[in-house]
Amino acid sequence: MELCAVLLSWVFTLSDYNRVDNQCPEMEMVSHSWLQERACNGRSCKVLGWYPGEGDVVYLDDRMDLENNIFHTSVALHELVHWLQGKRGAVLENCEQSIAAEREAYSIQSQFLVEYGTYYPVGRVIPMLRCDESDSS
């Protein structure tokens, strides 16, 4: 819970999000295969964290070292941004909204890493994401 509070304070510092009644979601460590099954529809993928879009649980890969690896910590921060987006009432009804939510989470994650003096190119896939005409509604 302490890590969550620290990471949320970073999000509040790096963005226009406001505190949410001193709340923190549960940060549950799960296996990579569990994440792939749920976040990637059972396909092999490089997912390290996942927020399902509702509720108060953020799922993180149990192989990560959140206390000693700043990139892993930034992944947790990224997922907390998604949790805050949900608390703010973000509705991800279509492709454009989902891409905008990812852009925001990667931007805050990147700022966090830079503040720690680390450059790690997060969100490299974002410029390649496109919505098909059928996805936009």
Q: Which amino acid is at 22?
A: N
Going by DSSP bridges, is the β-strand pair 26-30/57-61 parallel, antiparallel, or unpaired?
Answer: parallel
Domain ranges (residues) in the chain? 2-135
pLDDT digits over 94-126, tens only? 888 888 899 999 999 999 999 988 777 776 666
Model-wide pTM > 0.85 = yes
Read off the pLDDT of residues 2-34 as tens digits, 9 standing for 90 and up: 999 999 999 999 999 888 776 899 999 999 999
Give the whole-number percent of the chain exceeding pLDDT 70.
Answer: 88
CA distance 6 to 77: 9
Sheet strand arrangement including 57-61: 26-30, 57-61, 49-50
> Can you tell me the distance from the alpha carbon of 52 to that of 120, in angstroms, rounded to the nearest whole number?
25
